[in-house]
């Protein structure tokens, strides 16, 4: 069960820059004020087996309904997942999300053909973004607010617009702060 706690610790580190023990992380999830960390805590634990996984799946469902965040617990999410202003987020379960990825409110990652998106490492996705079908978003990329991504975005770039187009190189790597070192 150690890898699950490493993922949870990496997520908390992205919010605070601090590394905590599993007990401290559990206390933060139960009594802390950061509902985005609380959601990712239960999402990560829901994939565990046994009684902990059973209980965590119920908590994950509860917080999915409470916060309006729908990220299936079996979604492949790397280390250091950061949810900013978590509300109105829908991510298709087959999506692959890399390490140190920031997502924002009103994000939609979907598919009608069961061909999900792949998101690289150190990616910032702004508010009100739609990512449609089997696009690949390269590492070290920024997706600007309101973008509709229907084509691949190369590494080290910034994309904006509807449909999203590369408008230059990524000049805002600081958006992905407190990166978890692998």
Across the beta sheet with 102-103, the strand order is 82-83, 102-103, 124-125, 142-143, 157-160, 165-169
Domains in the chain: boundaries: 2-67, 76-173
pTM of the predicted protein model: 0.94
Each of the 182 residues of the chain gets a pLDDT tens digit; together they read 569 999 999 999 999 999 999 999 999 999 999 999 999 999 999 988 889 999 999 999 999 999 999 999 999 999 999 999 999 999 999 999 999 999 999 999 999 998 999 999 999 999 999 999 999 999 999 999 999 999 999 999 999 999 999 999 998 888 899 999 98
- Specify the CATH architecture of the domain 76-173: 3 Solenoid (2.160)
């Amino acid at each position: 069960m150690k890898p699950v706690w490493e993922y949870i610790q990496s997520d908390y580190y992205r919010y605070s820059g601090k590394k905590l023990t599993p007990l401290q992380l559990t206390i933060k999830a139960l009594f802390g004020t950061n509902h985005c960390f609380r959601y990712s805590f239960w999402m990560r634990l829901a994939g565990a087996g046994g009684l902990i996984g059973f209980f965590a799946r119920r908590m994950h469902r509860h917080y999915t309904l409470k916060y309006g965040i729908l990220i299936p617990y079996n979604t492949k999410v790397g280390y250091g997942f950061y949810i900013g202003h978590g509300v109105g987020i829908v991510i298709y379960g087959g999506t692959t999300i890399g390490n140190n990825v920031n997502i924002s409110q009103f994000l939609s990652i979907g598919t009608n053909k069961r061909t999900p998106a792949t998101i690289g490492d150190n990616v910032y996705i702004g508010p009100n973004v739609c990512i449609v079908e089997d696009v690949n978003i390269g590492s070290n990329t920024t997706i600007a607010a309101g973008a509709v991504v229907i084509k691949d975005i190369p590494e080290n770039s910034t994309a904006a617009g509807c449909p999203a187009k590369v408008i230059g190189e990524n000049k805002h790597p600081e958006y992905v702060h407190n990166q978890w070192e692998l």
